[in-house]
Copies of this chain bind each other. A is one copy, B any other.
């Protein structure tokens, strides 16, 4: 079949000598703003190069393709590689493992998830979320569902150190209504909700919204229905080669939020953290060294 070792652009240049006048004109147009022109229909391409469609077919066949569609498909493949290359370097991750080992497939998927989710994140949303979380006058409630409540707790543990007035709510337990009893207008509710979206979480969001709370939602690519009520929504891809979903992307976002809120509240946080250190020292909870 076709030689896969060079790009189509290279092949065009290599073969340039063997091309006829109209074909060179065409090759030139193709290289002009490579590869976009070649991705249109053969008709458009022919018109753009001011040659006829048979010329196009003849040329791509000279290059070794069976026809125009195959040529175009190769172009797309090349483009895909070019676009995703700097990100998803197809290095095998675990060197000792075969290419298709679960660790490598899994990691590839996670990196892809992170890449895609982060490129699509809205900067303004991030800023607003940080402002809300850094505001000492608003209390913060962190809520998660069956699986996500572990992640909610993770965020809670950090926020608790950064500021006062942080509460962890189990959306799935029957007690969440009590936890939200003293929710005031202006308070912030951080909600984790991924498929399968939980009814109680939606109820919780609705109630919070009715009370005038601001809602920050961390969800998956399909967006939990809570989104309707949310002021800030963050979507993270969660699909991996597993029967389960991966919350790694959401964790990354949560950590980034913590990092930025910490930055903004550093003045007040410093004292809190030193207090905490002191308490830890007294209780000898941690090892001094190693």
The complex places the Cα of A227 from the Cα of B14 at a distance, in Å, of 12
Cβ A197 vs Cβ B36 within 8 A: no
Asked whether A286 and B251 contact (CB < 8 A) given A107-B114, A119-B94, the answer is no
**When each residue 216-259 of chain A gets 1 if its CB lies under 8 Å from chain B and 0 otherwise, what string results?**
00000111010110000000000011111011100110011011
Asked whether A120 and B31 contact (CB < 8 A) given A107-B114, A150-B153, the answer is yes
Mostly, the A contact residues are helix
Of A56-64, A75-83, A132-140, which stretch is located at the interface?
A75-83
Cβ A222 vs Cβ B36 within 8 A: no
A65 interface residue (CB < 8 Å to B): no
Q: A74 CB to closest chain B CB, in angstroms? A: 12
The residue that A153 contacts in the complex, of B95, B153, B228, B284, with Cβ under 8 A, is: B153
A131 interface residue (CB < 8 Å to B): no
Q: A85 CB to closest chain B CB, in angstroms? A: 11
The complex places the Cα of A115 from the Cα of B110 at a distance, in Å, of 11
The complex places the Cα of A107 from the Cα of B121 at a distance, in Å, of 12
Q: Which residue of B lies closest to A41 (CB)?
A: B69
Cβ B94 vs Cβ A154 within 8 A: no
Cβ B242 vs Cβ A255 within 8 A: yes
Asked whether A106 and B255 contact (CB < 8 A) given A123-B94, A225-B287, the answer is yes
A290 interface residue (CB < 8 Å to B): yes
Cβ B107 vs Cβ A95 within 8 A: no
A111 interface residue (CB < 8 Å to B): yes
The complex places the Cα of A227 from the Cα of B255 at a distance, in Å, of 26
Cβ B103 vs Cβ A119 within 8 A: no
- A197 surroundings in chain B (CB, below 8 A): 286-287, 290
Of A183-191, A198-206, A207-215, which stretch is located at the interface?
A198-206
**When each residue 12-50 of chain A gets 1 if its CB lies under 8 Å from chain B and 0 otherwise, what string results?**
010011000000100010011100100110000000000
Q: A23 CB to closest chain B CB, in angstroms? A: 11
Q: Mark out the residues of chain A between 135 and 176 whose CB falls within 8 Å of any chain B CB in the assembled complex.
A: 146-147, 149-151, 153-154, 157-158, 172
The residue that A80 contacts in the complex, of B36, B241, B263, with Cβ under 8 A, is: B36
- A172 surroundings in chain B (CB, below 8 A): 285
Cβ A223 vs Cβ B16 within 8 A: yes
A68 interface residue (CB < 8 Å to B): no
Cβ A290 vs Cβ B106 within 8 A: no
Q: Which residue of B lies closest to A86 (CB)?
A: B91
Cβ B91 vs Cβ A103 within 8 A: no
- A86 surroundings in chain B (CB, below 8 A): 91
A-B contact pairs, 20 of them (CB 8 A): A17-B227, A28-B222, A93-B115, A93-B118, A94-B119, A94-B123, A103-B121, A103-B256, A106-B256, A107-B256, A197-B287, A199-B284, A242-B255, A243-B259, A244-B258, A244-B259, A246-B252, A248-B248, A248-B251, A248-B255
